[in-house]
Amino acid sequence: MSQEETTQVAEPTEPGSVPEATADAPPTPADLPESAPLISVAEFETAKREAVEFKEGWLRERADFNNYKKRTETQMKDLRESAVVDALMNLLPIIDDLERAMANVPADMKENPWINGVGGIYRKLQKTLEDRGVAVIDPTGEVFDPNRHEAVMKEDSSEVESGHVIATLQKGYVRGDKVLRPAIVKVAN
């Protein structure tokens, strides 16, 4: 429908019918049929106030819903992240066992295809950790950090400065800023 068509007043087609209001001008009391109820200015102001209240309430509810949606999306993301971390933490003892097994393979079995297959599984698990952003904490020679290391022994050392890690007894793992498992270390006195 063109602009010109919307601004024209429709001609009455039946006796007693009222022409429609134009888009530019609101209907006047003369345009309304005699049976149309008239309201007072006070009733109109009350209805107008209620309409504003309803609109504000609707906008508040819409904002609350958007906040709810964002909050649940964040919670779902955190839940997925927590599940990934839990799964990775369950793999760490298995990786430790495979590492110890591969470190203690007898010399005459090093070329055994079965041993090479187990070594391949170990490398795949390490790659999986790397792909998920997990890094190894092996702090030998570094300053002891209680946030990333767990000291189980203190020992005098002439080779390592006091407060530094002498040996890593068990590797730790970190993912981003979160320590999955602290490194178990021996510290110099």
Domain boundaries, the chain: 136-189
The position carrying tokens 């066992």 is 97
Whether residue 175 contacts residue 88, with contact meaning beta carbons closer than 8 Å, is answered with yes
What is residue 11's predicted lDDT score, i.e. its pLDDT? 47
**What are the pLDDT tens digits along the chain (189 aa)?**
444 444 444 444 455 554 554 556 776 766 766 766 788 899 999 999 999 999 999 999 999 999 999 999 999 999 999 999 999 999 999 999 999 999 999 999 989 999 999 999 999 999 999 999 999 999 998 999 999 999 999 999 888 889 999 999 999 999 999 999 999 999 998
Beta strands in 10-145 (DSSP E): 134-137
- Other beta carbons within 10 angstroms of residue 151's beta carbon come to 15
The position carrying tokens 């070594």 is 119
What is residue 23's predicted lDDT score, i.e. its pLDDT? 55
What is residue 7's predicted lDDT score, i.e. its pLDDT? 41
Q: Which class is 136-189 in CATH?
A: mainly beta
Residue type, 180: L
What is residue 27's predicted lDDT score, i.e. its pLDDT? 66
Global confidence as pTM? 0.62
Give how far Cα 45 sits from Cα of 38, 56, 58, 121, Å: 13, 16, 20, 77
DSSP H or E segment with residue 120: helix 113-131
What is residue 77's predicted lDDT score, i.e. its pLDDT? 96
What is residue 6's predicted lDDT score, i.e. its pLDDT? 41
DSSP letters spanning 122-136: HHHHHHHHHHTTEEE
